[in-house]
Amino acid sequence: MKKRGEKIVSLTAYDASFAHILDKTGVEMVLVGDSLGMVVQGQSSTVPVTVEEMAYHSKIVSRGLERALLVTDLPFMSYPDPHTAVDNAAILMQQGYANMVKLEGGQKILDSVQHIVDQGIPVCGHLGLLPQSVNQLGGYRVQGKDDTQANIMIEDAKCLEQAGASAIVVECIPSSLAKRITASVSIPIIGIGAGVECDGQVLVSYDMLDITAGKRPNFSKDFMLEAGNVSAAVNAYVEAVKNKTFPAEEHSF
């Protein structure tokens, strides 16, 4: 799809019913995000989520899918070293029926990425705003705004590809940087709050349906506003990503 210039559509799901709707409306990549800690469990961050919880939600999401790629997050502190990373990735594959695992970070996690890939497990990277590191980052802020940070992130993307990653999510970064990262690697770059020039887009489904408690992120959009039902809202999102009308300028940095 990247080679054809066709946009990749992704959304999060946490149960079989949502997964079925996403699957039938043409979403290509369904992400079981550790965002479930916030939107499902009511936690203040993703940090408390466990591997066992991720495996459970991944398993029930898998029951709603027939065609979409199932990507599941490795949660906080589940990949502190390569061996632990492989053990926990195996749990998500065997118990959670994931097709791919996602982990946050750049060059610091390359050994874990490579070790996971060497065991035959596909990996998706995650750069920019790293929700699992929100305490270290000082909050949910746009990343990569200066040249030094931007250049490090571009190098991180190249290194993740060399380590064997099959895709990378970039979150809350300037659109201009996302465009540079997308052009610098041959693997798909999936954006969230990263502008329209990425190879694809992902949103937290609860955000784009406007059912998340509290303030919706600035980079999201309420697709339920004019849709009337969940399926129509997801269809509108798919079409908007495909025809490049989402994200618009007001959803970008």
Cα dihedral value 204, 208, 210, 212, nearest 10: 10
Q: What's the average model confidence in pLDDT over 152-181? A: 98
Please name the residues in contact with 245: beta carbons below 8 A apart, sequence gap of 6 or more. Answer: none
**pTM, to two decimals:** 0.95
Q: What confidence score (pLDDT) does residue 131 get?
A: 86
The dihedral through the CA atoms of 205, 207, 212, 217 has a sign that is positive
The residue among 81, 61, 57 whose CA lies nearest residue 70 is 61
| pLDDT, averaged across the chain | 95
Residue 207 domain flag: yes
Q: What confidence score (pLDDT) does residue 161 get?
A: 98
Q: What confidence score (pLDDT) does residue 215 get?
A: 81
**Does 34 show up as a binding residue in the annotation?**
yes
Residue 240 domain flag: yes
Q: What's the average model confidence in pLDDT over 95-113? A: 97
List the end-to-end C-alpha distance of the chain, in Å, as a whole number.
25
* Residue 19 in this model has a pLDDT that exceeds 90: yes
**Does 210 show up as a binding residue in the annotation?**
no
Q: What's the average model confidence in pLDDT over 163-178? A: 98
Name 86's bridge partners. Answer: none
| pLDDT confidence tier of residue 209, bands split at 50, 70 and 90 | very high
Residue 90 domain flag: yes
Q: What confidence score (pLDDT) does residue 135 get?
A: 63
When divided into structural domains, the chain yields a total of 1
Q: What's the average model confidence in pLDDT over 144-151? A: 94
* Residue 238 in this model has a pLDDT that exceeds 90: yes
Active-site residue list? 171
Separation CA 57–CA 17 (nearest Å) = 12
Q: What's the average model confidence in pLDDT over 137-155? A: 87
- Residue numbers of the domain that contains 206: 8-251
Residue 134 domain flag: yes
Residue 237 domain flag: yes
**Does 207 show up as a binding residue in the annotation?**
no
User: Which CATH number do you get for residue 73?
Assistant: 3.20.20.60
Q: Which amino acid is at 158?
A: K
For the chain, the 3-state helix, strand and coil shares in percent, each to the nearest 5, are 40, 15, 45
Q: Of 9-23, 121-135, 156-170, which gets the smallest average pLDDT?
A: 121-135
* Residue 64 in this model has a pLDDT that exceeds 70: yes
**Does 104 show up as a binding residue in the annotation?**
yes
DSSP state of 215: P
Number of CB atoms found within 10 A of residue 195's CB? 23
Q: What's the average model confidence in pLDDT over 212-233? A: 92
Burial of residue 243 (number of CB atoms within 10 Å: 0-12, 13-18, 19+): exposed
| pLDDT confidence tier of residue 136, bands split at 50, 70 and 90 | low
Residue 3 domain flag: no
